[in-house]
Amino acid sequence: MAKTCPLFGICGGCKYDFTAPDYQAKKLIHLRNIPITGDPIWVPNGIRRRADFAFASGVFGLFEQGSKNIVPVQNCPNLMPEINNILPDLAELPWVGAGACLITACDNGIDIAITSNVPYFTPDFRDAAMCLPVIRITWNDRTIKQTAQPIINFSGQSIPYPSGAFLQPSVAGADALRDLVVSRAHGAGRIADLFCGLGNFTFALNADGFDIVGTGVQRDLFKRPLTVGMLNQYDCVVMDPPRAGALAQCQELARSNVSRIIYVSCNPQTFVRDMEILTHGGYKNTELIPVDQFSGSTHWELFGVFTRD
């Protein structure tokens, strides 16, 4: 069967051809040791709103599979049209040095965050970048161009998007996770949203948010997890940590009286580790649903629910 992307197997952006008829079967192999309880949720491809490109020696694109060589990419079938539309212009910029270029389609336009081993952009690069149809461009935290504050909407709340901040890779994927969280948190009184980020769950749940950055209370939950006394104020705790998981926080939760924990994870390995801590503390995993949030990759998002008797 012909592939939609002519670069599949050349560029390292995707591990699997997400257009192939056996795509789902191949990806499900990565869950063979995970005790899932529900059917996977398959997020459509071609709707990614963020992508991390690379540049070096004047070449812009994605890393070649298994190497640090860069394959020029001017169209990726896994991305939103708004991002694909600017890739040819980005490829033509006078790139210097080497680094990464994170492109994010915000609700009101495109944001570009460049990190490089070269501390300063050149005048030629600045002049060319100013012509791009985007609302913000930063280079190592220095702003090259900004015509508007990039905005992301969560449950009717318009939140300023910090350059390079974490977002779920697609709106559909974020919505699917939020729908799961909100439905399973139904009936809970007071809710804590830990590792809340910009608030994908916080506003929909009317929860108390905690994270080192974002719209909630600023707190480094790796170094200073919510204590048992703090946790016992809540009926339900929602967590969506980075790939490192929530080891310290789960150790506190295992000793708490919280009746319901909803755990969203982008790393099945750390999820299983944390699940063992919670189950040893008396929690029961009542639901575990995989979400194909990262189409074409080996990565899975997991949605889990834990309760106490």
Per-residue model confidence (pLDDT) at position 218: 94
Q: Is there a single domain that holds both residue 229 and residue 303?
A: yes
Residue 264 confidence class, pLDDT cut points 50, 70, 90: very high
CATH label of the domain that carries residue 229 = 3.40.50.150
Per-residue model confidence (pLDDT) at position 206: 96
**Residue 302 pLDDT > 80:** yes
Q: Is there a single domain that holds both residue 181 and residue 110?
A: no
Domain count, the chain: 2
**Residue 4 pLDDT > 80:** no
CATH label of the domain that carries residue 60 = 2.40.50.1070
pTM: 0.93
Could you give the C-alpha distances from 215 to 92, 199, 209, 219, 221, in angstroms and in order?
37, 6, 7, 11, 15
Separation CA 257–CA 299 (nearest Å):
32
Task: Give residue-wise pLDDT tens across range 15-37.
Answer: 998 888 999 999 999 998 899 99
Mean pLDDT, the chain, integer: 94
Give me the domain span that covers residue 73. Answer: 51-152
The CB density around residue 189, as the number of other CB atoms within 10 Å, is 9
Q: Token pair for residue 202?
A: 């916080």
Q: Is there a single domain that holds both residue 115 and residue 59?
A: yes
Q: Is there a single domain that holds both residue 204 and residue 261?
A: yes
Could you give the C-alpha distances from 264 to 164, 193, 198, in angstroms and in order?
21, 11, 15
Per-residue model confidence (pLDDT) at position 1: 39
Q: Which residues of 218-257 are buried (b: 16+ CB within 10 A; e: fewer)?
A: ebebbeebbeeeebeebbbbbbbbeeebbebbbebbbebe
End-to-end CA distance of the chain: 51
Strand order of the β-sheet with 50-56 is 70-72, 59-63, 50-56, 98-106, 109-116, 136-139, 142-146
* Final residue belonging to a domain, choices 152, 180, 214: 152
Per-residue model confidence (pLDDT) at position 114: 98
Task: Give residue-wise pLDDT tens across range 138-191.
Answer: 999 899 999 999 999 999 999 999 999 999 999 999 999 999 999 999 999 999
Per-residue model confidence (pLDDT) at position 2: 43
Contacts of 186 (CB under 8 A, 6+ apart): none
Per-residue model confidence (pLDDT) at position 3: 52
Could you give the C-alpha distances from 235 to 107, 113, 180, 182, in angstroms and in order?
33, 39, 17, 14
Per-residue model confidence (pLDDT) at position 6: 81
Q: Is there a single domain that holds both residue 140 and residue 172?
A: no
